[in-house]
Each structure stands twice: as C-alpha cells, then as structure tokens.
Amino acid sequence: MNEDRMDFKEFTDMIRQNIRDYLPETYRDAEVKIEDFQKLNQHYLGMQVKKEGQTVVPTINLDSHFKAFQRNGGSLSDMDSVLRAVAQEAQSQLALDTEWLKDYSQVKDRLYLRVSNAQDNAYFLAKAPHREVDGLAVSYCVAFDTGRGIEASTPVTYDMMKMYGISEEQLHQDALESSINLLPTRYASIAEVMNQMMGIDTDMAGPAPGDPQLMVLTNDQALHGAGALFYPNQMESIAEQFGSDFFVLPSSIHEVLILPDDGTIESGVLEAMVQDVNMTTVAPEEVLSDHVYHYDAKDHILEKAATFELRMEQKEAEIEKAALHVEQKAAEAEKPAPHMDEKKAEAEKTAPRDAEKAVPSQEDKRRDEKKHPGRGKEEHRDSAKKERRSVLSRLSEKKEQVKKQPHKDVPAKKRETEL
C-alpha cells in the first residue's frame, strides 16, 4: 500500500477489516458485505453491516465516501475520520421502523411517483412495476417520513406487490392520490425560484419583458419532483394556462422546466442546452434525460420532441394523400361520358381483330392436320355439304317467290328461260 495515496480497492479493504472496531459491542459478530448495488439512477459499490436477527439492512455508498476521501487528500491518516463517518451512518439508518412496510393499508398513504431514465435503469426496472412514456419510466416508492420530511425511501418491487395482493393498476391509482398529498406540486417561474434563492422579494420575481415564459415544476420538497409532471390533470392544466402545447426540459430527476411552444423555438436548440447542462452541472445520479419532450394539448400526448415532429410529418403526409384522392375522384366524376359514335368506332376497331382470332390461318390448319390426319378432309366434306344445302335452299326460296308473283302474257319459252 502506498503510504501517501490509497486506491479504491485499498480503501474498501481497509473499511471491511476495521469497521467493527468503530461500532458498538453488539456488532462484534455482524456480517460485513461489500458488493455492487443497483438503484434508480445509481450504480455503486455498497457496504452492509448486518447483525443477527436484523431484517432490514442499510446500504452505505462507498463510492461517495471514497470521493470525499480523495478530496481531503486520500492518505492513510484520513481513514480514521472515514471509518467514524461510515459507522455513524450505519447506526443512524438502523433506527428506522420497517414493520409497517408489510401492511399495505399503511403503505398506500406513503406512496409517491418517481421518474427515471428507462434505458439507464433497465436492470432495476425489470424487478419493479412501472409505466414507460417514450423513454421515461414512472415507478413507485414508499417514503419514510419522520416528521421532518422524507428522509429515506424504498422502491416498490414485484415481490412487494405480490405480498400486498394488489394489482399494478391499483398501485398506480393509489400512488397518484398519495403523491399529491405527500408531495404537493410547486409550480413557479424560473425567475421567481431564483429570486427566492437569492432572497429577493417575490413580487418582483416575474420574467422580464421579452424573456421566455420558462417555468419550474417540482414538489414542495424538491425531492424527485419530476414525478409531479405525471400527477392527475397536471399536463392538461399547464397547457390550458399557456393556451398552447409546451416543451418539457428534464433538468434533473428533481424538477423539470416548462416552456410554451409558440412555434418560434427549435427543439434541437433546447436539446443541445439540456445535454450541455447534464454534462457540466447535474450529478450523474440525478440526470433524467438528454432529450427534450413535447406535450400535444390536442391529442393529450407527452413524447420526445423528435417523436412529435415525426408524427406531425406523417399526419401531414396522410392528409395530403387523402386530399389528392378526393381531387382525383372529383375529376373523374366531372369527365363527360363517351359519345355513342365513339363507342361504335371503338367496337369496329376491335371487331376485325376478334374475327381474325376466330378464323384459323393456313399454318394452323396444317398443324392441326398433322395432329389429326383426315380431320381436314372430313371438315371439307362437311363444309361442301353445308354449301350445297345452302344453294338448294336459296333456289327453293327463289321458286317460292316466283310462284307467288302474278303471271304475265309472255311466250312460254321465254318464261322458262327466266326460270
């Protein structure tokens, strides 16, 4: 080990080996476990110190302690203060009463919504009931309220929901009602919020003329305040106040910024701003999303701004296609019907072609003769018989016509010649 500087492994080994010496006698036989932990928006190396018979064990974030240790110099001489702080944290969290967590009638009034990035928290969300809204995941937590606000919380998992014997729909509805009572909405202009932080009179906190009407949406504790966006009728109410659609800038898991969509702002500019703030200002475990969202007041849809723009393009294309179809139908209806002479001329054009198809060519006859020898002669004899019968029929008809005519005084010889 380097006497002057310690790396992370040396740091965690030192805590594991010495933490019992900084805890009361009741912890002498406690189990010390250090492993990776996955929570909403957080992945870190944590430590648990579990006494015999203990059911709920706090998890201490060793990553955050190591960062503080490095800021203070990171030497072996600083480990005493680190071990004291870790031991104090373990003991203070163990005082929480957790028996009521088994009773849903007590849990339902302490539920609240929590919003996180669905992709970044996929591993955790696979174990917890949640609803996804275009990349944002709305999950549920139970608050530990000691009278001084929410000091701790635990996420609701599928195992807990099964123990309670409730449906996911009931959990969602109970969490909506409880969130409003437990963490009421706070909605104010960004100018008002900043002025309050600086101690300026709120009556002077309105936006300056020409400034965008940028609003902050959170809850009264500014704790996981992005969840307030999903309170009942929250988005509809904001759209009604603006009289328009609006953009949602996810500044962190604790609050979002709201900006009316007046048609003059490009979503790409807003998204670049959000990404820059996330990289330079927001702590990694508090980043909500790098994407700007848009609320469509007409269709009541919250979605990424890029998703909204694509949907509008598709809708316009469908409208144009439908309009073109109507125009084509109207043009066909106005076109005059073809004149009878035109129909007759068209029929005469096609008649010779049809007749040609009906009369076999000489080549067709020769091929048929090869396939069926003698058929041609039979057909010829039949044709000759038909022709003779036709001639005799015409002569008979002629005689009948002559007989019916009145007789004239002409020489018998001439009359016979005429016959």
Give the span between the Cα atoms of 375 and 372, in whole angstroms: 6
pLDDT at 254 over 70: yes
Is the distance from CB of 228 to CB of 274 less than 8 angstroms? no
Return the domain boundaries, the chain: 8-95, 97-182, 187-331
pLDDT at 355 over 60: no
Measured in whole angstroms, the distance separating CA 344 from the mean position of its chain's CA atoms is 60
Residue 207 is classified by DSSP as P
Query: Which pLDDT belongs to residue 418?
Result: 33
Summarised one tens digit per residue, pLDDT across range 16-62 is 999 999 999 888 888 899 988 877 777 789 898 888 777 667 788 99
Give the span between the Cα atoms of 386 and 393, in whole angstroms: 10
Summarised one tens digit per residue, pLDDT across range 410-419 is 444 333 333 3
Query: Which pLDDT belongs to residue 27?
Result: 87
Query: Which pLDDT belongs to residue 408?
Result: 46
The larger pLDDT score, comparing residue 317 to residue 362, is at 317
Query: Which pLDDT belongs to residue 236?
Result: 97
Region 267-290 average pLDDT = 94
Region 72-88 average pLDDT = 87
Token pair 């912890």: residue? 27
Query: Which pLDDT belongs to residue 388?
Result: 47
Least Cα distance to 229 among 202, 205, 252 occurs for 252
Region 288-301 average pLDDT = 97
The larger pLDDT score, comparing residue 58 to residue 204, is at 58
pLDDT at 406 over 60: no
Query: Which pLDDT belongs to residue 59?
Result: 85
Measured in whole angstroms, the distance separating CA 65 from the mean position of its chain's CA atoms is 39
End-to-end CA gap in the chain: 145
Which H/E stretch holds residue 144? strand 136-145
